[in-house]
Chains A and B, each alone.
Chain A
Amino acid sequence: TAGITQAPTSQILAAGRSMTLRCTQDMRHNAMYWYRQDLGLGLRLIHYSNTAGTTGKGEVPDGYSVSRANTDDFPLTLASAVPSQTSVYFCASSPGPHTDTQYFGPGTRLTVL
């Protein structure tokens, strides 16, 4: 079982360019999340989706957008990347929202120059 996958593994992106980070889970989990992890800081929630067709804003949503067209996929888009978006991005899923155990993908390391 794949669990939760992310693509790409890493990416270098020029400032001002757009980018979509992909996330797919095969566990039929209702809830999905996008976090960023920066050195010295805890994981910070960017956006979440409690169920297919719905999304919500987390702690640091500015500059990012998401969609949840189906249960399995939860892509994260950076419309116009800035250097401060350099980070490691983790996608996660859980059977129910937030307080259920979350299962994380392997992460995408993004560098914006």
Chain B
Amino acid sequence: GQNIDQPTEMTATEGAIVQINCTYQTSGFNGLFWYQQHAGEAPTFLSYNVLDGLEEKGRFSSFLSRSKGYSYLLLKELQMKDSASYLCAGTDSNYQLIWGAGTKLIIKP
């Protein structure tokens, strides 16, 4: 079957680092997306990984291991505005995106 798994909720402290994991099982893999979604708003693009390894973009980094079917999103120097849901999505054999349910990140002062 095709599945994207990520934790439902995580809590972290302002200024700290948090890692949000995502595991996937898809029949046709063509890359892994991360999106951010604030409550009541639309998802916005964060990163896209096709090759193994870490890609850094400011305070956010995304990692992919194709052999392990695993990705993570790393957020550094957490700010209150980072409180949001983080959605992981991978492609299936029809090249359509399969979305995880999202990880709600709560930032505490």
Contacts and interface: CB of A to CB of B under 8 A. Distances in A.
A99 B44 CA distance: 15
A42 B95 contact: no
Contacts of B48: 101
B99 interface: yes
Q: Chain A's interface: helix, strand, loop or mixed, by majority? A: loop
B48 to A, nearest CB: 6
A103 B44 CA distance: 7
Contact of B87 (A43, A44, A58, A101): A43
Interface residues of B, number: 22
Contacts of A107: 41-42
A99 B43 contact: no
Interface in A56-113: 58-59, 90, 97-99, 101-107
A2 interface: no
B97 A102 contact: yes
A58 B42 contact: no
Interface residues of A, number: 21
A102 B31 CA distance: 13
Nearest to A4: B42
Contacts of A45: 96-97
Contacts of A105: 42
Contacts of B100: 42
Contact of B44 (A58, A59, A104): A104
Contact of B98 (A40, A42, A90, A103): A42
B79 interface: no
A45 B41 CA distance: 18
Contacts of B30: 99
A103 B96 contact: no
Nearest to A99: B30
5 contacts: A35-B99, A41-B101, A42-B87, A90-B42, A99-B95
Interface of A: 35, 40-45, 48, 58-59, 90, 97-99, 101-107
